[in-house]
Amino acid sequence: VLPGFEAELVNPVGRQLKADGIKMITGATAVNVVQSADTITLHYLKNQEQLHVTAEYVLVTVGRKPNTDGNLGLDRIGLPVTTRGLIETDEQCRTVIPNIFAIGDITSGPSLAHKASYEAKIAAEAIAGLSSEVDYRAIPLVVFSEPELASVGLSETEARAKGIPIVIGKSTFGINGRALALKETEGFVKIVANPISGIVMGAQIVGVEASTLVSELALAIEMGATVEDLAMTIHPHPTLGEVIMEAAENAVRKMIRGERGK
């Protein structure tokens, strides 16, 4: 379930889905669907067993591809696409044809609306003659589940896989006054930072308003802020944003004290 996110973030979502009476079948391969007048039956294979589920609708929510074949006519102007049908661009969103720019889903990277509009701003500035370039360090990714999931920048899993030294700061919604008042105490904020400088490299949130809270962490990455900056920023009480401040405080306590600690 939601394999793009770390298991500890997905678990609260899984618990909520179960509590809502939703049965999740994972590790299964869809084989075929049979449609009748008012139902549709999906046959699937799980542990070599042929099983099925009958429902009113089947919603396929995976798989998107760039619409660059067919009538766009890229071949007529000699603009090549990759094997995946994507248009290659440089750091100013410029294609190999210098007066043609490409942004959004037809270029590489995550297919997200805010990534597309960000690239549009860079492309417009480049067309206007400015030296603007894309910086993809802080593209937030949100799942509007209950509770919400949000991620920006580097994750702990990615950092560990790449051998990047990190310090992790965590705090939970369970000890946050506003979350308690909202009866939304499930979840936590996790901040991934450099263990010496404290520079924020990434963050993941599962919990209420994660979609809104993630922007503060995107700003921190964009500005090159440290966990100390977040910890020493006065957050109003009682607000959900205090979970970010407390996660940052947690990271500050765990940082390697070199010159900074003297």
Ligand X SMILES: Cc1cc2nc3c(=O)[nH]c(=O)nc-3n(C[C@H](O)[C@H](O)[C@H](O)COP(=O)(O)OP(=O)(O)OC[C@H]3O[C@@H](n4cnc5c(N)ncnc54)[C@H](O)[C@@H]3O)c2cc1C
Q: Min. distance of Cβ 117 from ligand X in angstroms?
A: 8
The binder of ligand X chosen from 26, 71, 83, 131 (CB under 6 A):
71
Q: Min. distance of Cβ 144 from ligand X in angstroms?
A: 7
Q: By CB under 6 A, is residue 113 in contact with ligand X?
A: yes
Q: How far are the Cα atoms of 34, 127, 153, 159, 193 from residue 258, in angstroms, in the given order?
A: 65, 45, 25, 21, 15
Q: How many degrees, rounded to 5, is the angle at CA 71 between CA 66 and CA 76?
A: 100
Q: By CB under 6 A, is residue 116 in contact with ligand X?
A: yes
Nearest-angstrom CA–CA distance, 202 and 170: 12
Q: Min. distance of Cβ 67 from ligand X in angstroms?
A: 5
Q: By CB under 6 A, is residue 59 in contact with ligand X?
A: no
**CB under 6 A: which stretch of 112-120, 122-130, 231-239, 246-254 binds ligand X?**
112-120
User: Among residues 101 and 179, whose Cβ is nearest to ligand X?
Assistant: 101
**CB under 6 A: which stretch of 11-19, 103-111, 124-132, 199-207 binds ligand X?**
103-111
Count CA atoms within 13 Å of residue 107 on its CB side.
24
User: Among residues 172 and 212, whose Cβ is nearest to ligand X?
Assistant: 212
Q: Min. distance of Cβ 115 from ligand X in angstroms?
A: 7
The binder of ligand X chosen from 12, 104, 153, 207 (CB under 6 A):
104
User: Among residues 148 and 156, whose Cβ is nearest to ligand X?
Assistant: 148
The binder of ligand X chosen from 40, 72, 79, 219 (CB under 6 A):
72
Question: Mind telling me the catalytic residues?
Answer: 237
The residues, ordered by sequence, that sit 6+ positions from 155 with a Cβ below 8 Å of its Cβ are: 6, 192, 202, 204
The residues, ordered by sequence, that sit 6+ positions from 110 with a Cβ below 8 Å of its Cβ are: 139, 141
The residues, ordered by sequence, that sit 6+ positions from 255 with a Cβ below 8 Å of its Cβ are: 167, 193, 195, 196, 198, 227
Concatenated DSSP letters of 95-126: -SSTT-B--GGGSSS---HHHHHHHHHHHHHH
User: Among residues 37 and 113, whose Cβ is nearest to ligand X?
Assistant: 113
Q: By CB under 6 A, is residue 60 in contact with ligand X?
A: no
Q: By CB under 6 A, is residue 111 in contact with ligand X?
A: yes
Nearest-angstrom CA–CA distance, 46 and 44: 7
Bridge-based pairing state of the strands 141-143 and 148-153: antiparallel
Question: Cβ–Cβ contacts within 10 Å for residue 133, how many?
Answer: 12
Q: Min. distance of Cβ 111 from ligand X in angstroms?
A: 4
Residues in contact with ligand X by CB under 6 A are 67, 71-72, 104-105, 111-114, 116
